[in-house]
Amino acid sequence: MTVGIRLLQQLFLLVILLQLEPRVADSNNMIRCIDEEREALLTFKESLVDESGVLSSWGPEDEKRDRCKWAGVGCSNRTGHVIKLEIQPIDFGSFPLRGTISPALLQLHRLTYLDLSLNNFSGSPIPEFIGSLTKLSYLDLSFAEFEGPIPSHLGNLSALQHLDLSLNHLFSVGNLDWLSHLSSLTYLDLGSNNLSRSTDWLQVVGNLPLLTTLYLYRCHLPPIVPLSLSNLNYSTSLQFLELSENNLTNSIYP
Ligand SMILES: *[C@@H]1O[C@H](CO)[C@@H](O)[C@H](O)[C@H]1NC(C)=O
Ligand SMILES: *[C@@H]1O[C@H](CO)[C@@H](O)[C@H](O)[C@H]1NC(C)=O
Ligand SMILES: *[C@@H]1O[C@H](CO)[C@@H](O)[C@H](O)[C@H]1NC(C)=O
Ligand SMILES: *[C@@H]1O[C@H](CO)[C@@H](O)[C@H](O)[C@H]1NC(C)=O
Ligand SMILES: *[C@@H]1O[C@H](CO)[C@@H](O)[C@H](O)[C@H]1NC(C)=O
Ligand SMILES: *[C@@H]1O[C@H](CO)[C@@H](O)[C@H](O)[C@H]1NC(C)=O
């Protein structure tokens, strides 16, 4: 009898342990993940020059342990992972962040929102690895003193809905093939960069199916040639269009 009860008790314990096991593993994973995200953010901070203390809430100290409370960091309420990074000067006129963007960002596997606009990356190019942050739906790198070619790697960001690279010193090296892969785009601003080499610009933006807002002002756009109109599926969702300060005087507007 007692042996039977003891056996039952042991069985009962075993069942409980078996149920607990996956949760212990899950929470271990979660802790590892949190540490990884914290380290990644601190490495990201190290490659920046922060004269006005925008990132002063970020640190390895015990009282700063919760990375979700750091300025500009957003965590998912559901999963607890870092999903958002929005880092700007404290106010207009304060020193912008300078420096470079660390590839440590790639450790933030759940990042969907990245806004580094209004900082000063001092004429460095947009890093190609940004194209590997494939969960991104929002990317704003505008007015941040980027210079150089627009990396075609951005074409890997197939979930992107909002892309703003405006007001930098960027140029396109050739056609905009990469852009045609971003079929979820609703907002696109490439204004005040140099797209003079992209003769296919109209076909590409005209075939983005969900686009509602398009800014291509001051882009040195090459003229629209009648030939380029033949294989064009006009995006019917478009609501805002800005093409000012281009030399399209001899162009035929579709
Ligand atoms: C999480 O929830 C808070 C309060 O309900 C809300 O203010 C915040 O925007 C949410 N964060 C995200 C990333 O959705
Ligand atoms: C950005 O920083 C560089 C030096 O790194 C400086 O020459 C330039 O004026 C700065 N640009 C702005 C807009 O502050
Ligand atoms: C991203 O795009 C580049 C250039 O378009 C390509 O060479 C590379 O293989 C792509 N990487 C991934 C992970 O898809
Ligand atoms: C635009 O970029 C091309 C190189 O891609 C260059 O030859 C041209 O001079 C640039 N135009 C302007 C106005 O900067
Ligand atoms: C235009 O749309 C039609 C039907 O939706 C499609 O079959 C065709 O491939 C599209 N053409 C281009 C150039 O995207
Ligand atoms: C605009 O382009 C036309 C040729 O298409 C050229 O004759 C004219 O000089 C250009 N205007 C400016 C301001 O660059």
43 neighbors 67 (Cβ within 8 angstroms)? no
Please return the burial class of 3, using the count of CB atoms within 10 Å of its CB with bins 0-12, 13-18 and 19+. exposed
Instruction: Count CB-CB contacts under 10 A for residue 183.
Output: 13
Lowest mean pLDDT: which of 11-15, 66-70, 157-161, 222-226? 11-15
Q: Measured from the CB, is residue 152 less than 6 Å from ligand 3? A: yes
Domain residue extents for the chain: 2-242
Q: What is the pTM assigned to this prediction?
A: 0.86
What pLDDT was estimated at residue 57?
Answer: 95
Distance of alpha carbon 26 from the chain centroid: 27
What pLDDT was estimated at residue 85?
Answer: 98
In the CATH scheme, what is the homologous superfamily, with its name and number, of domain 2-242? Ribonuclease Inhibitor (3.80.10.10)
Query: Which tokens is 166 given?
Result: 């405006």
For residue 232, which of 218, 217, 252, 249 has the smallest C-alpha distance? Answer: 252
Count of H helices and E strands in the chain?
2, 12
- The ligand 1 atom nearest the CA atom of 74: 13
Whose Cα sits closest to atom 13 in ligand 3? 132
- The ligand 3 atom nearest the CA atom of 156: 1
Reduced to 3 states, what is the DSSP secondary structure of residue 108?
A: coil
What's the average model confidence in pLDDT over 76-96? 90
Whose Cα sits closest to atom 6 in ligand 3? 153
What pLDDT was estimated at residue 21?
Answer: 54
